[in-house]
Amino acid sequence: MNGIMIQGTSSDSGKSFIVTGLCRLFSDMGLKICPFKSQNMSNNAYVTHDNCEISTAQALQAQAARLTPETFMNPILLKPKHDKSSEIILNGRVFHKPAEKNYYREFAQNQGIQAIRESLKYIHENFSAIIIEGAGSPAEINLNAHEIVNMRVAREANVPVILVSDVDRGGSLASIVGTLELLGQDRERVKGIIFNKFRGDINLFNDAVEWTQNYTGIKVLGVLPFMKEINLSGEDSLTLQNFYHAKNISRKNINIGVIKYPGIANFTDFDSFKYESDIDLIYVNDCKDLQKFDAIILPGAKNTLSALEWLKESGLDNAIKNFHGFIFGICGGLQILGFLEILPISTSFDYSGKITRQISGFLANDNSIKISGYEIHFGRTIYNYNQDFSALFSITDKNFNTASPEGITNKNFSLAGTYIHGIFDNDEFRAYKTLKKLQSTQYNKYALRER
């Protein structure tokens, strides 16, 4: 195939960032370029136009390549349920067995590799070139016999590999040399090296570049600077390092706390806040001083009931109930607000299947505020609308002929929830109904809530 593969010496080395950038670069050059990651492990998922799931990272790369996100760009998505089991999404749909114990190896060498080959064949026949992203490190020798995401895929596609190392984390020279030493015959496939996330005077790194090229015999293609202004969606919740402590709270800004329970899902829902200069978004995992926040958001959860149990064990359930600022729940967070009896809703898990769909509509009480997003969830929720609570959104069908209520809010929009992922990506909604509300009530939080 025409193309390249970007692999890293570690997780979070910058593979996704580089693939995304190359997709836009080659698209600007007029090439019909396709991003591809054979298997991703992440609870951040995107719903395609045909109601299938892929990783948000590959959806973003597709958009960078000016393409509609499709399942062949990410045929396997593993969504961790707990430490020893993951839900398998194969070609966008839930596979009948989870990835646990020894079953995953059987799946990888049968249904998994077959789906990868079919996707590669389709891309080869319909695109000018492919840019493949690896996962973790290709030097995990304990996994090499069964891996279907690094050198196995490079061999299947017959493409050269560029190796990326994170200078910021330290030890980049050793990680490059060590990785190459452990690759065996696949070492010959590596045709270039990129140092990523470099801080400081580039001239001080020239000796390291020269040494690397002389020692390995592989050309260093570039040294990329550390760019704080680049905020691509993370795949792993380990990337969420901004936990709450006293110095995070700024009296000048609006402080939003996102409850980080185990199994947090689709935390990409909050990426848009990174670009708001007067917003500090802080991930919270304890109940200390919760009242110092202007707003709290309960995000999605891979397992709602496990997240609910953790909230009760940590004492955050009562802290949320007694919170006097703005409360918003998304997906699993919406369900939890019902289980905590904060919202008048009831959710049942009848195992009738997962709901995945793209959504568009408008604010229920202001049809000039258009919204769009997508749903990914198990469970069915009944909204018990009454004189104090009403629908948050009105969702239209594809032909805009009918509309149905979705989500729930109290009368003064201080307590609300929805199933719609990506809801804060809607600029008009985020600014008009959220930030504006918080700005006007920031220093009068105890008057905000009306239960």
The catalytic site residues sit at 331, 421
Dist. CA 410–CA 345, nearest whole Å? 12
DSSP string, 328-381: EEETHHHHHHHHTTSSSEEEE---S--EEEEEEEEETTEEEEEEEEEEEESSEE
**Residue recorded with tokens 């003064």:** 412
- Residues 442, 298 contacting (CB under 8 angstroms): no
**Residue recorded with tokens 């109904």:** 433
| Helical (H) or strand (E) element with 216 | helix 206-216
* β-bridge mates for residue 46, sequence order: 54
SS3 category, 260: coil
| Structure tokens, 56 | 């948000």
Residue 437: C-alpha distances to residues 366, 429, 446 (Å) = 15, 11, 14
Residue 307: C-alpha distances to residues 131, 310, 311, 319 (Å) = 37, 5, 6, 15
Give, as one character, the DSSP assignment of residue 234. P
Number of H helices, E strands in the chain: 12, 28
- Residues 138, 186 contacting (CB under 8 angstroms): yes
